[in-house]
Amino acid sequence: MTLKTAAPLLLMGIGIGLAGCKVGPNYVKPQASAPPAYEESAPDSTQSGDWKPAAPSDSALGGSWWQLFSDPELNQLEQQVATANQSLKASEANFRAARGYVAINRSYLAPTIGTAPAIGTVRDSLHQPYFNTNYLNNGEGSFSLPFDINYEIDLWGRIRRGVTASRAQAQASAADLATALLSLQAELAMDYFDLRATDTQLQLLNDTVKAYQEALKLTEDRHDGGAAPLSDVTQARTQLQAAQVIQTDLNNERAADQHAIAILIGLPPAEFHLDALPRGADHSVLPKVPLSLPSQLLERRPDIASMERQMAAANEQIGIAKAAYYPTLSLSGSAGFMGTSALNWLTWPSRFWAVGPTLSETLFDAGRRKAGVAIAQANYDATVANYRQTVLTSFGQVEDNLAALRILETEADQQHAATHSAEQTLDLFTTRYQGGVDTYLQVITSQTAALMNERNDIEIQLRRQQASVLLIKALGGGWTTQQLPKV
């Protein structure tokens, strides 16, 4: 082998030997401050008032966290979100696209091989200027079967970092998908509990309207007998009509909740219906939510995991930008067969080949590469800040809902007492009015106070259930980083 033919092979050997090098920083996960414990404690399993305690749960949230609420109808609806929700399908398609980019970037680690077979004939003109007749082609055939190869030797890790970056982006997309699923599941639970609270309020308003109708009949009878003025009748009628307005408005709220649930499970609202809550049915389950250490939250929230994976991808972009300072070594070659007829086309004498490396380097770019590195570093710094902010926001969401559950428990006890007092007051003034001791205005005032307090009872129950849902969501809903795909 001559020096002339050995030089390209020697250069390729050096390039392959250098292909294990990578420029740029290796990724180290930045630290995010986490308190040793939450300021607020987990809600006690002993519920106050008329709440129905949930069944004991495991020490950690599971993926089907909604089962903590012991509602078979909610369980059935939640299972449909993952398979039918269109927004979730869009997020899943984004993940599949991100996984496809991993395959594209990985393909650059291998050579590209192509071929372009051709058969043709050419007749040259004798009247071409400065034409050498020794090279005259009088319509002879041309048969070629070339194979071309192109391969960039990854000297400085640019391609490998591109693969790593795309893998991190795909994992971030998978975490985004988990975040979207958790958000939709929580939204469905919130809408469902709101609908059931509306059912309870409708039962209350149905009973209230019936009671007000009886009160109106009583005042009309007393007026007809001369024992009550006409103003008592008009006041009783006004009270009844006001309750009917609330009743109608609650039906509108229930319809809106039902439509929202239908859309979440991928159905047209016209094709979905939830029967009203049966009288006496109890849906007021408040589960004991398992609470982990704050440091574990970093591994259990998919939105935090997404930000962390985006940091890893941004770190690789710094190395890719720095690799632009160094030369690029590419290997290209061509080989195949070329003949003048089909008979001598694929014969050994018709073979041809050419191979050689190309080393390229940018000598001057007016600061373009320097700016590229600065941009990559700035983007990485932004992802670090976003990651740490997401962590802080997550701790705040957990604390907010722990505080809400603690405070609402006290508020529920206070409201139960207020409701009981309002109902006693109504009974007393109704009896006194019937005995002619008080005016009907006292009854009207007591009716209004009793209805307001009874509705507040239901509203606080709803808020406690929704705070439980939001706490579960803030804790990650049973998701862990172990569920990230190995792309």
Residue ranges of the alpha helices (H) in 108-157?
A: none
For 475, list phi and psi in degrees, rounded to 5.
-85, 0
Q: Residue 228 carries which side chain, given as an amino acid letter?
A: A
The answer to the question of residue 389 being in a domain is: yes
C-alpha 480 chain-centroid distance:
14
Predicted pLDDT at 40: 82
For Cα atoms 205, 208, 212, give the angle at the middle one, nearest 5 degrees.
135
For 42, list phi and psi in degrees, rounded to 5.
-65, 145
Predicted pLDDT at 34: 87
What's the domain range around 208?
A: 21-111+154-328+367-483
Predicted pLDDT at 125: 62
Residue by residue, pLDDT tens for the chain (487 residues) are 454 554 455 445 554 555 568 899 999 999 988 888 888 876 664 444 444 544 444 455 777 899 999 899 999 999 999 999 999 999 999 999 999 999 999 999 999 999 999 887 766 666 666 655 555 555 567 888 899 999 999 999 999 999 999 999 999 999 999 999 999 999 999 999 999 999 999 999 999 999 999 999 999 998 999 888 999 999 999 999 999 999 999 999 999 999 999 999 999 999 999 999 888 777 777 888 888 889 899 999 999 999 999 999 999 999 999 999 999 999 999 999 998 888 888 899 899 999 999 999 999 999 999 999 999 999 999 999 999 999 999 999 999 999 999 999 999 999 999 999 999 999 999 999 888 888 889 999 999 999 999 999 999 999 999 999 999 999 999 999 999 999 8
For the chain, helix, strand, coil in percent to 5 are: 60, 10, 30
Number of domains composing the chain: 1
Q: Are 430 and 443 in contact (CB under 8 A)?
A: yes
Question: Residue 238 is part of a domain; what is its CATH number?
Answer: 1.20.1600.10
Q: Are 405 and 44 in contact (CB under 8 A)?
A: no
Q: Within the chain, how many helices (H) and strands (E) appear?
A: 9, 7
Q: How far is CA 456 from CA 52, 129, 417, 418, 424, in A?
A: 18, 102, 12, 10, 17
72 is written with which tokens? 């078979």
Predicted pLDDT at 62: 76
- 3-class DSSP string for 292-306: CCHHHHCCCCHHHHH
Residue carrying structure tokens 């192109």: 150
The answer to the question of residue 429 being in a domain is: yes
For 299, list phi and psi in degrees, rounded to 5.
-100, -5
Distance (Å, whole) CA 189 – CA 220: 46
The answer to the question of residue 358 being in a domain is: no
The answer to the question of residue 142 being in a domain is: no
Q: In terms of C-beta density within 10 A (0-12 exposed, 13-18 middle, 19 or more buried), how is residue 86 classed?
A: exposed
Minimal CA–CA distance to 285: which of 476, 73, 474, 451?
73
Q: In terms of C-beta density within 10 A (0-12 exposed, 13-18 middle, 19 or more buried), how is residue 59 classed?
A: exposed
H/E element, 339: strand 328-339
Pairing outcome for strands 112-115 and 52-53: unpaired
Residue carrying structure tokens 């050498």: 132
H/E element, 472: helix 440-474
For 254, list phi and psi in degrees, rounded to 5.
-65, -40
Predicted pLDDT at 131: 53
Predicted pLDDT at 142: 81
Q: Are 336 and 349 in contact (CB under 8 A)?
A: no
Predicted pLDDT at 134: 58
Q: Are 277 and 257 in contact (CB under 8 A)?
A: no
Sign, Cα dihedral of 132, 133, 138, 144: negative
H/E element, 230: helix 230-264
Predicted pLDDT at 437: 87
Predicted pLDDT at 55: 47
The answer to the question of residue 105 being in a domain is: yes
Kindly give the interhelix angle for 302-323 and 158-224, rounded to the nearest 10 degrees. Answer: 150
Distance (Å, whole) CA 150 – CA 152: 7
The answer to the question of residue 293 being in a domain is: yes
The answer to the question of residue 140 being in a domain is: no
The answer to the question of residue 278 being in a domain is: yes
Output DSSP code: residue 349. G
475: three-class secondary structure by DSSP: coil
Kindly give the interhelix angle for 440-474 and 368-434, rounded to the nearest 10 degrees. Answer: 150
131: three-class secondary structure by DSSP: coil
User: What is this structure's pTM?
Assistant: 0.86
Pairing outcome for strands 112-115 and 138-153: antiparallel
| Strand ranges inside 20-137, DSSP E | 52-53, 112-115, 118-123
